[in-house]
Chain A
Amino acid sequence: MKHTLQQIFRSPNFVIGFAIFMALILFVFIYPLVVPDAPLAIIAQGTFFPPGTYVSVYDSLGSTQYTLNLQNASAARIGSKVSDTDKAAIKDYLVLVGVPEGQIDLTDTQKLLEQWKTNYDPNKNISGVTNAKRNQFIRLNTSLQNANSDQGIVLASQDPTSGALTQTGTVKLTDYVDINQIASAKVLPLGTDNFGRDVLTELVSATKVSLQIGFVAGLIATLIGLTLGLLAGYIGGMLDDIIMFITNLFTVIPSFVLLILISFSIGQDQRGAVTIAVVIGFTSWVWTARAVRSQVISLRNRDHVNLSKLSGHSIVHIILSDILPYIASYVVMAFILQISSGILAEAGLSILGLGPRTTDVPTLGLMMNWAMIYQAHILGKWWAYFPILLDIALITFSLNLMNTGLDQVFNPALRD
């Protein structure tokens, strides 16, 4: 026993898989201690805020201001204010007024703005430019002027009765605040989703729920498969025929179709995470049952079983102590695979909109479902779906890796 454990932990596949899996589990359990937010709390007004650190503007005005003279600060500021579409519009205009195309460099924002300043004339009539286009250039000019301003901003407070403004301060271009001194800042490493929820917090909670679903589904599937396989294989006869009939029924109906039908008939209100896990478990025991049965059939005529019979042991004792230990490694492997296929099954169901009730808890499948419905993939909001895909891939990859590692230890034919 101890010997086998040592061997398992010497298998590189198992160790890598185990390490990834444990890292995930640790993260899932430690993260909520650090960020104790409710996973489904809507914190953002608006959809798909990109990943980043969100700093309260109000608080940053109130916090201590430092003056830093940084060389490329203004370039960066202008660069971030002038979008690619703005640049394209500038180029359009410059070409229209006759600037040779070779002189226009879209990567040099500052030069582009200078060219605009010297060439733009709102009163100039250029042939072939529609009114709408002309208005667009006017709007562009206004916004560019703001961007290019090197004035600070005046802060004012309003008198509640008279409505008169009094200057309370100015913000100069060289004013900085220390982010650590700002009363309120929020790191959203994976941004927000379509509902305005913190994707990372949601993802951690979803990982936990999905693992639980996979675990429960795998446990149920393995228990049912193991029990039926043991009974059919060891007792044989009529019982075997009946169990094999049921197993064959389940084999010919694809389990995912069955899963869809059952989930659909349960109805949205009844579908909690646990219900879904149970349903997945009850539809995926078939292969475990078949495999266990065939292993038991090859075991039941072995001499150590015969000796146990001759030593007066009961059938239950023989199954538990002479058959089960021999297939235990196999069952553990099947269980690990069932966990990962349970997680995938939940994801599949949820993408079809048949997953757990959406108001309770997030699951990996539900998050995929939301990202898909709100077209995160089309809008290019990668943070709303890619981390989930990566998470599912990591979980199943690590579980499968562990399984391969176990297989190498338990199955001497695969050892190198």
Chain B
Amino acid sequence: MPTNNDPVGNNPVGNNPVGNNPVGKKLCLSVKGLTKEFGFGRQKNVAVNKVDMDLYEGEVVSIVGESGSGKTTLSKMLLGLINSTEGDIYFQGKKRDISSYSKKQEYWKNIQAIFQDPFSSYNIFNKIDAVLLDCINMRGGRRLPQAKKVEMMTEACSFVNLKYEEMTNKYPFELSGGQMQRLMIARIFLLKPKILLADEPTSMIDACSRATILDMLMKLRDETGMTLIFITHDIGLAYYVSDQVFIMEHGKFVESGSPDDVILHPREPYTKRLINDVPKIYEEWDLTTV
């Protein structure tokens, strides 16, 4: 049982979902027995299988697993974009209620996401200005003067090294994948949510832009203090950025804990394999720095 192996030695959800952990951090999101099944009968596919996790405010948490292990499915459930088959999610100590669309909208004020594929994240018929304007409107800036809005958008763009003047009046297909993902971060910069779920935000772009995007995400987390759920298949990356790591195999968490415990002293063969798959640079870096 992964949660029993929690290095912190504490599973607040088990006995007290509202409780704080010994260190004194507040519980932000906790998940209990979350399951998602697709299809029925012979076609049944358990994408996420009885997953438990506790996330504390301000933490960076990585969920690592190979392709098809259910990471995206889990994140869609956390976001409330798809319904779970079983299990509960507690948000800030209270059971999350997303039974109606307006309650979902209320929930989405707190949690935001950056999706795996930037090319499918944009509405191809809308100019990209709309994406940033929506954020200002959502944060109650609908009545702000135009100049103020432009100023906010310019600031958000410059945070991710984009020029607002170059972004305005353009359609998504006129941007590169890296620019698209940076614009997504600019969006988060304007929204400043409590929780950000980044689903392999760098998997579709080249290694160089990958590092920049990762830097920006971390900078944003440092500035806003948000909880960051970072989904990746790259265990080296997880080690580098996170406070907690969950290893996911076939919809289950097989191992979890602090990156030092999980990645430097893996017990599961699956984890070992994931570590071996990592390109050499990380491995050397890992062993020499720790």
* A-to-B contact residues, CB < 8 Å: 301-304, 306-315, 321-322, 325-326
A302 to B134, CA, bound (A): 18
Contact B125 A309 (CB under 8 A): no
Interface pair B115/A303, CB less than 8 Å apart: yes
Q: How far is the CA of A322 from the CA of B121 in the complex (A)?
A: 11
Binding site of A, secondary structure by majority: helix, strand, loop or mixed?
helix
| A303/B108 in contact, CB under 8 A | no
* Contact assessment for B120 and A312 in the assembled complex, using a CB-CB cutoff below 8 Å: no
Contacts of B101 in A (CB 8 A): 314-315
The reply to whether the CB of B112 lies closer than 8 angstroms to some CB of chain A is: yes
Residue pair B134, A321 in contact (C-beta under 8 Å)? no
**A310 and B113 in contact (CB under 8 A), knowing A301-B82, A315-B101, A321-B126?**
yes
Q: Which 6 A-B pairs have the closest CB atoms?
A: A325-B125, A312-B138, A311-B134, A303-B115, A303-B121, A304-B123
CB distance from A302 to the nearest CB of B (A): 6
Q: A301-B82, A307-B123, A321-B125 are in contact. List 19 more A-B contacts (CB 8 A).
A: A301-B81, A303-B115, A303-B120, A303-B121, A307-B113, A307-B115, A307-B122, A307-B131, A309-B104, A309-B105, A309-B108, A310-B111, A311-B134, A311-B138, A312-B105, A312-B109, A313-B134, A314-B101, A321-B123
Instruction: Give a binary string over B106-120; 1 marks a CB under 8 Å from any A CB, 0 the rest.
Output: 001101110111001
Instruction: Give the distance to chain A from B241, nearest Cβ to Cβ, in Å.
Output: 23
Chain B residues numbered 57-112 whose CB sits less than 8 Å from any CB in chain A? 76, 79, 81-82, 101, 104-105, 108-109, 111-112
Query: Can you name 11 A-B residue pairings with CB atoms under 8 Å?
Result: A304-B124, A306-B76, A307-B113, A307-B122, A307-B131, A309-B105, A310-B108, A311-B134, A311-B135, A313-B134, A321-B126
Distance (whole angstroms) from the CB of A95 to the closest CB of chain B: 83
- Closest chain-B Cβ to A190's Cβ sits at a distance in Å of 47
User: A304 vs B117: C-alpha distance in the bound complex, in angstroms?
Assistant: 10
- Give 1 or 0 for each of B249-261: 1 = CB within 8 Å of chain A CB: 0000000000000
The reply to whether B117 and A303 form a contact with Cβ atoms under 8 Å apart is yes
Q: Is B45 an interface residue (CB 8 A)?
A: no
Asked if A309 and B138 sit within 8 Å, CB to CB, the answer is: no
B134→A322 contact, CB < 8 A: no
Pair A306/B115 contact, Cβ less than 8 Å: yes
The answer for the CA separation of A392 and B63 in the assembled complex, in Å, is 63
Q: Which of the residues B108, B111, B113, B115 comes within 8 Å of A312, measured between beta carbons?
A: B108
| Alpha-carbon distance A314/B105, docked complex (angstroms) | 8
Question: Is the beta-carbon distance between B138 and A302 smaller than 8 angstroms?
Answer: no
Instruction: Specify which chain B residues have a CB less than 8 angstroms from the CB of A306 in the assembled complex.
Output: 76, 79, 81, 113, 115
- CB-nearest residue of chain B to A315: B101
In the assembled complex, B4 has its CB within 8 A of some CB on chain A: no
The reply to whether A307 and B108 contact each other, CB–CB distance below 8 Å, is: no
B137 at the interface (CB under 8 A from A): yes
Tell me the complex Cα distance, A45–B138, Å.
76
Q: Given contacts A311-B135, A312-B134, A315-B101, is CB(A302)–CB(B112) below 8 Å? A: no
A325 to B124, CA, bound (A): 9
**How many angstroms from the CA of A326 to the CA of B120 in the assembled complex?**
12
Distance (whole angstroms) from the CB of B61 to the closest CB of chain A: 19
Query: Is B108 a contact partner of A322 (Cβ separation < 8 A)?
Result: no
Of residues B101, B120, B123, B138, which shows the largest number of chain A Cβ atoms within 10 Å of its Cβ? B123
Within the complex, what minimum Cβ distance (angstroms) separates B100 from chain A? 11
What's the minimum C-beta distance from B82 to chain A, rounded to whole angstroms? 7
Which residues of the partner chain B approach A312 to less than 8 Å between Cβ atoms? 105, 108-109, 134, 137-138
Question: Please, which residue of chain A has its CB at the minimum distance from the CB of B134?
Answer: A311
Q: Say how far A406's CB is from chain B's closest CB, in angstroms.
A: 17
Cβ A304 vs Cβ B120 within 8 A: yes
List chain A residues, Cβ under 8 A from B137.
312
Per the bound structure, the CA–CA distance linking A313 and B109 in Å amounts to 11
Residue of A nearest to B117 (CB): A303
Report chain B residues within 8 Å CB of A311.
131, 134-135, 138
When the two chains form their complex, are residues A307 and B109 in contact, meaning their CB atoms are under 8 A apart? no
Query: Which residues from B are CB-within-8-Å of A315?
Result: 101
Chain B neighbourhood of A303, CB < 8 A: 115-117, 120-121
Q: How far is the CB of A53 from chain B (nearest CB, A)?
A: 56
CA distance A351 to B280 in the complex (A): 79
Complex Cα spacing A165 to B108, Å: 106
Chain B residues with CB under 8 Å of A313's CB are 134
In the complex, the chain B residue whose C-beta lies closest to that of A308 is B123
- Shortest Cβ distance from residue A117 to the other chain B in the assembled complex, whole angstroms: 86
Are A310 and B79 closer than 8 Å at their CB atoms? yes
Residues from chain A with a CB closer than 8 A to the CB of B104 are 309
